[in-house]
Structure 1
Amino acid sequence: MALRDTSLPEPSGPARCGTAPPLDPTDRGRLLAGAHHDPHALLGAHVVPEGVVFRALRPFARAVSVVVDGERRALASEGEGLFSGVLPLAGIPSYTLLVSYEDGEQEVEDPYRFLPSLGDLDLHLIREGRHEQLWKALGAEPMTHQGVTGTRFTVWAPNAQGVRVATDFTYWDGTAFPMRSLGAAGVWELFLPGVAEGTRYKFEIHSRHGHRFLKADPMARHAEVPPDTASVVHSSQYEWGDEEWMAHRGDVPVHVAPFSVYEVHLPSWRPGLTYRELAEVLPAYVNDLGFTHVELMPVAHHPFSGSWGYQVTGFYAPMARLGTPDDFKFLVDALHRAGLGVIMDWVPAHFPKDDWALARFDGEPLYEPGDDRRAEHPDWGTYEFDFGRVEVRNFLVANAVYWCEEFHIDGLRVDAVASMLYLDYSRDSGQWTPNVFGGREDLDAVAFLREMNATVYRRAPGVVTIAEESTAWDGVTRPTDSGGLGFGLKWNMGWMHDSLGYMEHEPVHRKYHHHEMTFSMVYAYSENYVLPISHDEVVHGKQALVSKMPGDWWQQRANHRAYLGFMWAHPGKQLLFMGQEFAQGAEWSEPDGPDWWLLDPAYGAEPDHRGVRDLVRDLNSAYRAAPALWQRDTDPGGFRWVAGDAAEDNVFAFLRYAADGTPLLAVSNFSPVVRHDYRIWVPEDGPVWEETLNTDAAKYGGGDVTNPGPLKPEDDGIRITLPPLATVWLTPYPC
Structure 2
Amino acid sequence: MATRAAATPVTPPPVPAELAGLDDGDHADVHHHLGAHPAPGGPDGGVRFSVWAPAASHIAVVGDWNFWDPATTPMERVPDSPMWTAFSADARLGHRYKFAITDQHGHTVQHADPLAFRTEPAPETASIVHTSTYRWGDGEWSGHRAHVLASPMSVYEVHLGSWRRDPGEPHRDLGFRALATELAEYVVEMGFTHVELLPVMGHPFAGSWGYQVTSYFAPAARWGEPDDLKHLIDTLHQAGIGVILDWVPAHFPKDEWALGRFDGTPLYEHPDPLRGDHPDWGTYIFDFGRQGVRNFLLSNARYWIDEYHADALRVDAVASMLYLDYSRAEGEWRPNQHGGRENLEAVSLIHAANVLVHDDGVGGFTIAEESTAWPGVSRPVDQGGLGFTLKWNLGWMHDTLDYFAKDPIHRQHHHHDLTFGVHYAFNENFVLPLSHDEVVHGKRSLLAKMPGDRWQQLANLRALYGWMWAHPGKQLLFMGGELAQEHEWDHDGSLDWAGLGDPGKAGVQRVVRDLNHAYRARPSLWSRDVEPDGFTWLDNDPAHNVSAFARMGSNGEVLTCVANLSPVVHYDHLVGMPVAGRWTEVLNTDAQLYGGSGVGNLGAVVADGPPAHGQPTSARITLPPLAVVWLEPS
TM range (shorter): over 0.9
Any idea what the Cα deviations from partners look like across 1:131-155, whole Å, max 9, x if unmatched? 2121110000112279971111000
Question: What's the offset of the Cα at 1:427?
Answer: 0.5
Give the Cα separation in 2 of the matches to 1:459 and 1:628: 28
Cα distance, 1:254–1:146 mapped onto 2, change above 3 Å: closer
For the pair 1:715 / 2:606, whether they are aligned, the reply is no
| Structure 1 contact 401–460 (Cα < 8 Å) conserved | no
For the pair 1:344 / 2:245, whether they are aligned, the reply is yes
Equivalent in 558, 576, 579 of residue 681 of structure 1: 576
| Structure 1 contact 329–407 (Cα < 8 Å) conserved | yes
Give the Cα separation in 2 of the matches to 1:230 and 1:183: 28
Report the secondary structure of 1:269's partner residue: coil
**Counterpart amino acid of 2:556?**
G
Equivalent in 278, 303, 308 of residue 209 of structure 2: 308
For the pair 1:402 / 2:298, whether they are aligned, the reply is no
**Counterpart amino acid of 2:253?**
P
> Partner of 1:136 in structure 2?
32
Any idea what the Cα deviations from partners look like across 1:147-177, whole Å, max 9, x if unmatched? 9711110000011011100102333221111
**Counterpart amino acid of 1:257?**
S
> Partner of 2:124 in structure 1?
228
Q: Percent identity?
A: 55
Give the Cα separation in 1 of the matches to 2:43 and 2:625: 76
Equivalent in 406, 411, 415 of residue 505 of structure 1: 406
Any idea what the Cα deviations from partners look like across 1:532-556, whole Å, max 9, x if unmatched? 0000000111011011000000000
Any idea what the Cα deviations from partners look like across 1:247-270, whole Å, max 9, x if unmatched? 111xx3110000000000001112
How many pairs align?
620
Report the secondary structure of 1:191's partner residue: strand
Report the secondary structure of 2:251's partner residue: coil
For the pair 1:186 / 2:82, whether they are aligned, the reply is yes
In terms of Rg, which structure is larger? 1
Give the Cα separation in 2 of the matches to 1:595 and 1:259: 26
Give the Cα separation in 2 of the matches to 1:127 and 1:461: 22
> Partner of 2:292 in structure 1?
391
| Structure 2 contact 367–391 (Cα < 8 Å) conserved | yes
Cα distance, 1:595–1:710 mapped onto 2, change above 3 Å: closer
Question: What's the offset of the Cα at 1:108?
Answer: 2.9
> Partner of 2:20 in structure 1?
123
Root-mean-square deviation over aligned CA pairs: 1.6
Question: What's the offset of the Cα at 1:123?
Answer: 2.8
Question: What's the offset of the Cα at 1:210?
Answer: 1.2
Cα distance, 1:588–1:709 mapped onto 2, change above 3 Å: closer
Any idea what the Cα deviations from partners look like across 1:459-479, whole Å, max 9, x if unmatched? 555411000000000010010
| Structure 1 contact 3–194 (Cα < 8 Å) conserved | no
> Partner of 1:485 in structure 2?
386
Cα distance, 1:460–1:695 mapped onto 2, change above 3 Å: farther
Question: What's the offset of the Cα at 1:433?
Answer: 1.2
TM-score, structure 1 normalization: 0.83
For the pair 1:108 / 2:1, whether they are aligned, the reply is no
Give the Cα separation in 1 of the matches to 2:603 and 2:245: 44
Note the 1:16-415 alignment, pairs <5 A.
106-109=6-9, 114=12, 116-119=14-17, 121-124=18-21, 126-144=22-40, 149-249=45-145, 252-271=146-165, 272-415=173-316
Cα distance, 1:544–1:364 mapped onto 2, change above 3 Å: same
Give the Cα separation in 2 of the matches to 1:369 and 1:310: 19
| Structure 1 contact 164–178 (Cα < 8 Å) conserved | yes
Give the Cα separation in 2 of the matches to 1:344 and 1:561: 28
**Counterpart amino acid of 1:668?**
A
Report the secondary structure of 1:331's partner residue: helix
Question: What's the offset of the Cα at 1:373?
Answer: 1.6
> Partner of 1:456 in structure 2?
357
Cα distance, 1:709–1:359 mapped onto 2, change above 3 Å: closer
> Partner of 1:625 in structure 2?
521
Structure 1 unmatched ranges of 5 or more: 6-105, 600-604
For the pair 1:698 / 2:592, whether they are aligned, the reply is yes
Cα distance, 1:207–1:122 mapped onto 2, change above 3 Å: closer
Q: Compare 274-283 and 401-410 and name the one that shifted more.
A: 274-283
Give the Cα separation in 1 of the matches to 2:120 and 2:44: 27
Give the Cα separation in 1 of the matches to 2:285 and 2:194: 30
For the pair 1:654 / 2:554, whether they are aligned, the reply is no
Any idea what the Cα deviations from partners look like across 1:408-430, whole Å, max 9, x if unmatched? 00010000000000000001111
Give the Cα separation in 2 of the matches to 1:554 and 1:463: 43
Equivalent in 573, 598, 616 of residue 512 of structure 2: 616
| Structure 1 contact 122–131 (Cα < 8 Å) conserved | no
> Partner of 2:437 in structure 1?
536
Cα distance, 1:571–1:188 mapped onto 2, change above 3 Å: same
Any idea what the Cα deviations from partners look like across 1:93-125, whole Å, max 9, x if unmatched? xxxxxxxxxxxxx44347xx6353312x3432x
Cα distance, 1:653–1:230 mapped onto 2, change above 3 Å: same
> Partner of 1:670 in structure 2?
565
Any idea what the Cα deviations from partners look like across 1:464-516, whole Å, max 9, x if unmatched? 10000000000100101111110000000000000000011100000111001
| Structure 2 contact 58–102 (Cα < 8 Å) conserved | yes
Give the Cα separation in 2 of the matches to 1:184 and 1:611: 66
Any idea what the Cα deviations from partners look like across 1:562-596, whole Å, max 9, x if unmatched? 00000000000000000110211111000002111
Greater RCO between the two (CA within 8 Å, min separation 6)?
2
**Counterpart amino acid of 1:278?**
L
Structure 2 unmatched ranges of 5 or more: 166-172, 612-617
| Structure 2 contact 302–362 (Cα < 8 Å) conserved | no
Cα distance, 1:614–1:115 mapped onto 2, change above 3 Å: closer
TM-score, structure 2 normalization: 0.96
Give the Cα separation in 1 of the matches to 2:208 and 2:517: 34
Question: What's the offset of the Cα at 1:450?
Answer: 0.3
Report the secondary structure of 1:719's partner residue: strand
Any idea what the Cα deviations from partners look like across 1:270-326, whole Å, max 9, x if unmatched? 232121110121000011000000000000000000100000000000000111000
Equivalent in 437, 452, 463 of residue 562 of structure 1: 463
| Structure 2 contact 483–497 (Cα < 8 Å) conserved | no
Question: What's the offset of the Cα at 1:391?
Answer: 1.0
Give the Cα separation in 1 of the matches to 2:164 and 2:583: 42
